[in-house]
Structure formats: structure tokens, C-alpha cells
Amino acid sequence: MALNLSKVGGRERLKLQREPHWQRLRAGCFLGFRPSKRGGKGTWIARAYDEDAGKYRLKSLGDFGALAGNEMFAAAKKEAEALAELVEAGGHVRAKIETVADACREYAKSRPEAGHRFQRYVYADPIAKVKLGKLRLRHVKDWRERLEARPALVSRRKEGKPIHRSRAPSTLNRDMAILRAALAKVLSPGAPGTEAAWQEALKAVKNANGRRTLYLDRRQRRKLVETVNAEARPFVRALCLLPLRPGALAALTAGDFDKRTAELTIGKDKTGEPRRIQLPQEAANLLAAQAKNKLPGAPLFMRANGKAWDKNSWKLPIAAAVVSADLPGDATAYTLRHSTITDLVSAGLPLLTIAQISGTSAAMIERHYGHLASDAAVKALGELAL
């Protein structure tokens, strides 16, 4: 008589053995069940025949412990049939992705930045060893709480004491998003409101990217430029003169600057669309000096080793200069962009114009800086009243 794993009572009567008890779903597709020796819910296994390789492919499905006993079979059957379809279509079956760490390593194979984050926040954490089939809401929630309590490293200076700060909600969101993406590649979302709903513990903090309040006035920015080391000084000075994202500034090449018209073409930026802006005289002089005797494809702001700046190279000298100049410890390269935009808004420049120059939307400028425009308007009305 053919085995029927759909009955809870029938599964409970199965004898303990190393080899799973198999039920044939169709030709080349089997669903197996191995009772637990410790009185647990048992483990489900899928088996599908690979004609090209001439052998069966196996995949452990876990225990489906968050489901009711009469729902486990249907969920396991669906997973087994999906495996069979993948194998029959010539798809590759990932081998031994059993734990959270396995899922993260698989995800990070083509994503180096994700690998760096996992190295810092996942692989050494207890969650790394949790098997995917047994991952529960409490495991992920505990990981999130540990991460949230962990200070964020601001500077990795070789000399002096490392600088830390409390982990900002936006930073927490970025760290959680990477883990959520890795798990979503191999796990389906659990039923909402149950312990299986691992994804609920990784919901982003709302309004994490709130209004930026750290502002460096011109005197402070001038002090920063004077204090930063000579190699980084042109790059930092440009950040103080132009409301560009640090990454967009670092990606500029000598050919992007037209000395004759004092125009700059920004190609690589968050918006994805190239734009051309007219530069004020001081900024044009700085870029002309940086472009002198360089080939069009060379980095406009070049480091001593001939490479362009990036976030891992600019943050070290800026962090050191922030400390030496006795500036607020949270000041970063992005603070300079915010400060420059703040000055433009306070000066009364139209928000749409500022948005076009800085490479963002007028809505974003309004959201973060609209209060300054209102203050400028009130000030102008006050001067008219005089």
C-alpha cells in the first residue's frame, strides 16, 4: 500500500529510521518525512530526479513547525513540486543552504558590500547558526535588538581611538534590508502574526531619514578645509563649494569640466540622469586647477596613488580633520553637502534651481529645507517693513 504522509496520525506512527519515509507524488517527484528522535515535529525532504545527471536531487525543507499539523503536508508538497519543476527545467539546485549564514554567503557571492555587512553583523552572531527551517520571529527580533544596541563605527583611523556613535535608524534600516534580502531569496514570508513571520522583525523604521540638522557654517567649513590633509584638501574644498553628493563628485573625470564655459557635467549620480551646471568663479578655478594636464578620462579629483576618491578613502581624513578642528563629531562628507544646500536656500535661491543643481527633487528640498525658505521669506518681508 502506498504511503500517505498527509495524515497527522499516520506520520506519528512511522518508525524512527535514518532514511526518510517517501511518498511518490508523481514520476520523478517524491516527498519524504523523517520523524524526530527527540519528540519534535520531524523533518520534510524533497527528492526530484535529474535526467541530465542521472541521479536524484535532494532538498531539506525543514519542519514547518509554525504550521498546524494538517497544513504541513500541503506546504511540503508545494515545495517538493517546485523543486521537481526546477530540476526538470535544468535549473541549478543550491547545495546545503541550511543556515542563516549559508543564505547570507550565497547572497553575498555577487554582492561584496553585503558580504562586508554580514561579516560585521551576522556571521559572528548567534543567528548565523540557526537553521532556515527553524528560523522564527524571536530569532530575528533578538538579532535586531542586538544590532540596534551596537554602536556604529564612524572612523577606522589607524592611529588614535576609534570613533563610535549610537546607531541611527537609517543605518539600522540599511543593515536590516541586506539580511531581509538574503533571507527572502531562500525563505517564503511566514504567516503574519505568527512565530513563523520572521520578516516582521525586519520591518524598516519609519521616517528614519528625517530632516538633517547638523550644519557647519562657513567658518567651520573653512577650518575643516584648512585642517584636512593636503591630499584630500581639493576634494573637501569642492564639497564645500558645490552641493553635490560625495560619490558624484568623486566620480567626475577631467573631461566632465569645460574650462571655456565653466560648465560641469555630472554623469554618475543617484538620479541616474546626467546633468550640466554652471559653476561660480571660485569653484571653476578649483576644478580648472584639478583638470590641468590630465587626460579626459582621468579622475578630476585624484588621490596620490592615481585613483579616484571613494567613501572608504575620504571618510578617514575627514574624520581626522573633524577631531583636529574641534568640530561636531557627527560631521561627515555628506554634512558638507547639507550645509551648502542650507546656505543656498537661506540665500533665497529658488528651490527648483537648488534641486536641479544638487541632483535631487524639489519635493525633497522642500521636505528637508522648506522651513529655511520660509524663514528667508519672513526675513525679506521684515526688511521691506523697515
The predicted pLDDT at position 386 comes to: 37
The predicted pLDDT at position 263 comes to: 92
For 252-285, give one letter per residue: b (16+ CB within 10 A) or e.
bbbebbeeeebebebebbeeeeeeebebeeebbe
Whole-prediction pTM: 0.50
8 Å CB contact between 347 and 340: no
Q: 311-324 vs 333-346: helix axis angle to the nearest 10?
A: 70
The predicted pLDDT at position 212 comes to: 56
Mean per-residue pLDDT of the chain: 84
Distance, CA of 18 to CA of 13 (rounded, Å): 16
Query: Does the pLDDT of residue 65 top 50, yes or no?
Result: yes
The predicted pLDDT at position 271 comes to: 57
Query: Does the pLDDT of residue 269 top 70, yes or no?
Result: no
pLDDT bracket for residue 38 (50, 70, 90): confident
Q: Identify residue 101 by its one-letter amino acid code.
A: A
Q: Identify residue 315 by its one-letter amino acid code.
A: K
pLDDT above 70 coverage of the chain, percent: 87
Q: What is the CATH number of domain 8-88?
A: 3.30.160
The predicted pLDDT at position 301 comes to: 95
Q: What is the pLDDT of residues 295-328, one digit of tens each?
A: 999 999 999 999 999 988 998 999 999 999 999 8
Q: Provide DSSP, 183-214.
A: HHTT-PPPPTTSTT-GGGGGPPPTT-S-----
**Domain locations in the chain?**
8-88, 100-202, 218-247+268-280+303-385
Burial of 386 (0-12, 13-18, 19+ CB in 10 A): exposed
